[in-house]
Amino acid sequence: MDSLPPAPVTAKGRVRSGVCRLSHAVVPGGLPRMSDSDAALVARTLGGDLEAYAALMTRYRDAFGRYAFHMLGNREDAQEALQDSFVRAYRALGSCREPERFGAWLFRIVVNRCRTVRRRILRHRRFDGDLTEDVPSKGARPDAFEWRDEIARALERLRPHYREAFLLRYVEELDYGEMARLTGVKEPALRMRVKRAGDQLRDLLRDVHAG
Amino acid sequence: MPADHDDETRDDTLRQAIAELRRPVALDPALEGRALARIRAGAPTHRIGSRRGLLWLGGALAAGIALALLVRPPTGSPARPGPTLATAGTQPTRAVLIRLAAPASSRVTVVGDFNDWDPAATPLRPVGDSGTWTVELHLKPGRYHYTFLIDGRRWASDPSGAPAAESDFGAPMSVLTVG
């Protein structure tokens, strides 16, 4: 493995303080296996093993890619957000204080990255002169859309923080405590967002579904 | 399904929609490879260039339009006492006074990362007959892109503010850093 980039820097003070479990992790040798723990793969990555990081990416790509796809509404933006998240996470890996919870740490980066990409999308739409609805109204020709497309369109009509809460709760199946840690939003507010998102989605989809 | 069920899952339509949303999404199999290539190359995390062409809306504003954006010190600063901007357990905000001299305009709004780029969300108010418009925002520390919309049709960046660095956004935007 030549021309390796510098390994991510371990957070200052972690080893000295003894808080970081990486400081006494047993790191297996050989090729990474999917059965290796997140902590083991993080340790190997910090030691300069990019194959270990590739294994981490493979482990989380599908779940987080699905979230990004539904959050952003298209594959290209979702893949960009996920790829950016992987690169950012690698560079910041030394600050991952609980490597055994690498997935949760990475997901937070993905959620934030999706928010940023979403804002960029909004910017482009505004600048392209679309100052009205982001999505055509459902009265256009609802019967012309497949069920899956209609779900995507309904999701797109939700306010981003409603959509985010709904996806985290029902698609990624997080509990409200996990959602609060991930988003920095308090549980009552998240419950309200999920409730409103559900109400709005139900209203948007009911006619299509009945038809 | 998490332990604490919500009413939403009892609705047939929503339950079927959720089942659909949980289906796998096909992603480019080369995605990790590209991420690794960027890591090896030490490439920046921001993609340069955009597949979306950004309509150039800048254009020079009429002479005489000047704009100032002032960031007030945090609440409690002896410089100017302000309202309470933070509550316990939340990240404190700072008062940001945005001011635009735009005479002969009938409506001015500011749009940015802080309001999801909603042109209707944050109107500025005229200050008497001076031709100056202002609005005070309360923002958490962070970096915000923003621009102005005049009379619902004319975009204007902040000529005296920091220009947005990202080349894929085009020019008519400014960046505000709230520390």
ipTM field: 0.74
Site from A64, A83, A205 to mutate, B interface, most B CB atoms within 10 angstroms: A83
What is the reported pLDDT for A82?
95
Does 1.10.10.10 match the CATH number of domain A8-132? no
Size of interface A-B (CB pairs under 8 A): 145
Site from A59, A126, A173 to mutate, B interface, most B CB atoms within 10 angstroms: A126
Distances (CA, A) of B101 to B28, B112, B147, B174: 49, 19, 14, 16
Angle at B42 between CA B41 and CA B45, to 5 degrees: 120
Model confidence over A196-211: pLDDT tens digits? 899 999 999 887 666 5
A73 closest CA partner among A144, A174, A163: A163
Model confidence over B11-53: pLDDT tens digits? 888 998 898 899 888 888 899 999 999 988 874 443 322 333 2
Extract the tokens encoding A130: 């679309």
Question: CB count, 10 Å around CB of B85?
Answer: 17
Round to whole Å and give the CA distance between A27 and A56: 15
What is the reported pLDDT for A206?
83
Round to whole Å and give the CA distance between B39 and B18: 35
Pairing status of strand B154-156 against strand B142-150? antiparallel
What is the reported pLDDT for A142?
43
Q: Tell me which chain B residues have a C-beta less than 8 angstroms from the C-beta of A57.
A: 31-32, 35-36
The CATH label, of 1.10.10.10, 3.10.20.30, 3.40.50.720, 3.30.1490.190, for the domain at A135-211 is 1.10.10.10
What is the reported pLDDT for B13?
86
| Helices A147-157 and B12-21, axial angle in degrees (round to 10) | 100
Quick one: average pLDDT of B60-72? 34
Round to whole Å and give the CA distance between A203 and A210: 11
Round to whole Å and give the CA distance between B88 and B85: 10
Distances (CA, A) of A203 to A1, A197, B169, B178: 55, 10, 35, 39
Q: Can you say how many angstroms the Cα of residue B22 is from the centroid of all Cα atoms in its chain?
A: 31
Structural domain spans, chain A: 8-132, 135-211
Model confidence over A113-122: pLDDT tens digits? 998 888 877 7
Quick one: average pLDDT of B159-179? 65
Model confidence over A28-70: pLDDT tens digits? 445 555 568 999 999 999 999 999 999 999 999 998 999 999 9
Site from A56, A87, A174 to mutate, B interface, most B CB atoms within 10 angstroms: A87
Q: Tell me which chain A residues have a C-beta less than 8 angstroms from the C-beta of B20.
A: 147-148, 151
What is the reported pLDDT for A146?
73
What number of residues does chain A have? 211
Quick one: average pLDDT of B52-63? 28
Q: Which of A90, A194, A206 sits opposite B6 (nearest CB)?
A: A194
3-class SS at A119? helix
Considering only CA atoms, give the Rg of chain A.
20
Q: Tell me which chain B residues have a C-beta less than 8 angstroms from the C-beta of A152.
A: none
Quick one: average pLDDT of A118-129? 69
| CATH tag, B66-79+90-178 | 2.60.40.10
